[in-house]
């Protein structure tokens, strides 16, 4: 599995020999350097063992492709992209909402297959709201915020362009 990470403006390629398995020793290549590591979840976060070093990883939060975490009292924000993210980006599409303040936008051109909520419904962040067919795949588009559906701008069968608004949500927090 290949990933790229961007931290402090510096991009690094990371390859894993297999899908991440918690509590199991694995191999990774960071750039051209091979490392053995083990990632162990616990009540407060994770313990990362790499060689003779151990790191406590705390306050892990995911937001799309962005990961925020703390190591040794310092907070880090890292952008993580996998092979699919890079392919979609290369094709001019994006899997990340660029403006998530209560507007669900089409991440790529496609056809609206179904709308999974109605006007006035209360929805939760990351709740599936629209099924969009794009690149011969059905994609569930999720709510960017928790709140109430204020407007439904499209209907099933509509063709949409990249970044076209689909739904508007009044945020409740």
**Each residue of 67-123: pLDDT tens digit?**
888 998 889 889 888 877 777 676 665 544 444 468 898 888 899 999 999 999 999
Long-range contacts of 26-31 (CB under 8 A, 24+ apart): none
Number of compact structural domains in the chain: 2
Residue 90 inside a domain? The answer is: no
Domain that holds residue 107: 97-171
Measured CA to CA, the distance from residue 87 to residue 107 in angstroms comes to 14
Res 48 pLDDT > 70: yes
80 and 6 both lie in a single domain: yes
pLDDT at 173: 60
78 and 101 both lie in a single domain: no
Helix/strand/coil for 10: strand
Residue 15 has a CB neighbour count (10 Å cut-off) of 13
Which residues, at least 6 apart from 60, have a Cβ–Cβ distance to it below 8 Å?
45, 46, 67, 68, 69
- Identify the sign of the CA torsion 53, 23, 21, 27: positive
Helix/strand/coil for 51: coil
Task: Show which of 84, 118, 142 is a domain's final residue.
Answer: 84
8 and 78 both lie in a single domain: yes
The answer to whether 76 touches 70, Cβ cutoff 8 Å, is yes
101 and 54 both lie in a single domain: no
Residue 37 inside a domain? The answer is: yes
The answer to whether 139 touches 72, Cβ cutoff 8 Å, is no
Note if the pTM is more than 0.95: no
57 and 10 both lie in a single domain: yes
Residue 105 inside a domain? The answer is: yes
Q: What is the CATH number of the domain that holds 152?
A: 2.40.50.100
Task: Show which of 84, 114, 145 is a domain's final residue.
Answer: 84
């Amino acid at each position: 599995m290949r990933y790229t990470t961007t931290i402090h403006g510096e991009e690094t390629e990371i390859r894993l020999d297999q899908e991440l398995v918690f509590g199991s020793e694995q191999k990774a290549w960071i750039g051209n350097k091979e490392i053995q590591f083990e990632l162990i979840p616990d009540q407060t976060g994770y313990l990362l063992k790499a060689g003779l070093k151990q790191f406590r990883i705390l306050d892990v939060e995911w937001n799309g492709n962005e990961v925020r975490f703390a190591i040794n009292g310092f907070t880090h924000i890292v952008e993580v992209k996998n092979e699919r993210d890079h392919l979609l980006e290369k094709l001019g599409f994006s899997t990340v909402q660029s403006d998530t303040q209560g507007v669900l936008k089409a991440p790529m051109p496609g056809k609206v297959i179904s709308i999974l909520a109605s006007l006035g419904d209360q929805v939760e962040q990351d709740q599936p709201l629209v099924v969009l067919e794009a690149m011969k795949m059905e994609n569930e588009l999720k709510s960017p915020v928790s709140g109430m559906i204020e407007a439904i701008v499209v209907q099933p069968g509509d063709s949409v362009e990249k970044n076209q608004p689909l739904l508007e949500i009044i945020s409740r927090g």
